[in-house]
């Protein structure tokens, strides 16, 4: 091994002109006056000597912190950024950046100098096609395709169960011209009649996950979700609108889901109400 004329440096292949600024790639395991980083180069310093460092014009990446993709915090914009800057998604969401609109926890948003790109680091399992739910618990948001239901399923860790990605929203309105009296059922829009009321016949096992309403009056009343005539969930109302998104009520297939104005309250007017369900295997 021949010397380049400077203590602690090793010759790497054919010697080059020390005055040249172009440099040559080095083996990161070869000591050159220390321990160079991966992909550093040995390059002339223009003064007849040598230096070790990144290749001329080479850029790196810079971690800028976490990003909430549901609220776009901190605010990122398509086509705007510093090359190499990247964020790690802490909260998944659907903020659109340069055509990408689905972000999950662990993904990277990195700016390439022209646009933001996604590096998919979602580690949640995808179980593929199955005839039944995977046994046990799974990370929130894990998915599989249920071949019996012919639909995609998602693990809901909050409710500790597998539910369909697809949701069914059952809508209701007042049953009479003058409103819906306490104890009376609301009219299911496009629903069927069953269990003594107008409601929706459920073709699969289902879970009620949310309900809400708007109304033109604010007298105290309670919206009551019914399963074949039996009360399974309620939402108290004394405002022009309201909702609950934390419901977790299972209803069996072939049941009729309906909505009524619970007994003991007041007549409600101008009601537009909804009940959201997701399917279960």
**CATH number, domain containing residue 194:** 2.60.120.40
Residues 68 and 106 both lie in one domain: yes
Residues 109 and 207 both lie in one domain: no
Distance CA 113, CA 110 (A): 9
Distance CA 26, CA 195 (A): 79
> Percent of the chain at pLDDT above 70?
77
Angle value at C-alpha 214, between 209 and 219, nearest 5 degrees: 110
Residue 155 banded pLDDT, cuts 50, 70, 90? very high
Residues 11 and 40 both lie in one domain: yes
Residues 214 and 268 both lie in one domain: yes
Q: Which residues form the domain of 25?
A: 1-58
Residue 236 banded pLDDT, cuts 50, 70, 90? very high
Lowest mean pLDDT of 17-21, 158-162, 173-177, 225-229, name the range: 17-21
Return the residue matching tokens 């297939």.
Answer: 253
Residues 114 and 173 both lie in one domain: no
| Residue 197 · residue 185 · CB < 8 Å | yes
Residues 91 and 155 both lie in one domain: no
Residues 205 and 266 both lie in one domain: yes
Residues 227 and 272 both lie in one domain: yes
Residue 38 banded pLDDT, cuts 50, 70, 90? low
pLDDT at 10: 33
Four-residue CA torsion sign, 139, 141, 146, 149: positive
Instruction: Report, as an integer, the average pLDDT of 57-73.
Output: 84
Instruction: Report, as an integer, the average pLDDT of 130-136.
Output: 92
Is a pLDDT exceeding 80 seen at residue 250?
A: yes
Residues 183 and 270 both lie in one domain: yes
Residues 206 and 240 both lie in one domain: yes
Name the range with the highest mean pLDDT among 42-51, 112-121, 203-212: 203-212
Give 110 or 10, the one with higher predicted confidence.
110
Residues 272 and 179 both lie in one domain: yes
Number of domains in the chain: 4
Return the residue matching tokens 């609108």.
Answer: 241
Domain boundary among 58, 73, 105: 58
Residues 200 and 248 both lie in one domain: yes
């Amino acid at each position: 091994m021949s010397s380049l004329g400077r203590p602690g440096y090793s010759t790497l292949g054919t010697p080059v002109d020390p005055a040249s600024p172009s440099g040559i790639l080095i083996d990161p395991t070869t000591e050159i006056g220390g321990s160079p980083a991966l992909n550093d180069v040995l390059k002339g310093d223009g003064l007849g000597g040598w230096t070790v460092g990144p290749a001329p014009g080479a850029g790196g990446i810079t971690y800028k912190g976490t990003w909430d993709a549901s609220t776009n915090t901190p605010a990122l914009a398509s086509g705007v950024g510093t090359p190499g800057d990247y964020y790690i998604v802490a909260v998944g969401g659907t903020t659109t950046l340069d055509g990408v609109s689905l972000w999950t926890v662990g993904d990277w948003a990195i700016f390439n100098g022209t646009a933001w790109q996604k590096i998919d680091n979602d580690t949640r399992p995808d179980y593929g096609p199955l005839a039944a739910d995977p046994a046990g618990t799974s990370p929130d948001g894990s998915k599989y395709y249920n071949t019996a239901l012919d639909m995609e399923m998602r693990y809901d860790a909050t409710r500790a169960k597998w539910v369909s990605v697809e949701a069914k929203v059952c809508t209701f309105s007042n049953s009479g011209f003058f409103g819906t009296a306490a104890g009376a059922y609301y009219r299911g829009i496009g629903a069927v009649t069953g269990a003594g009321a107008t409601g929706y016949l459920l073709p699969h096992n289902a879970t009620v996950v949310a309900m809400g309403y708007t109304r033109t009056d604010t007298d105290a009343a309670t919206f009551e979700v019914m399963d074949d005539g039996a009360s399974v969930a309620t939402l108290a109302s004394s405002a022009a609108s309201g909702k609950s998104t934390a419901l977790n009520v299972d209803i069996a297939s072939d049941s009729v889901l309906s909505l009524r104005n619970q007994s003991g309250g007041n007549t409600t007017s101008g009601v537009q109400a909804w009940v959201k369900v997701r399917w279960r295997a």
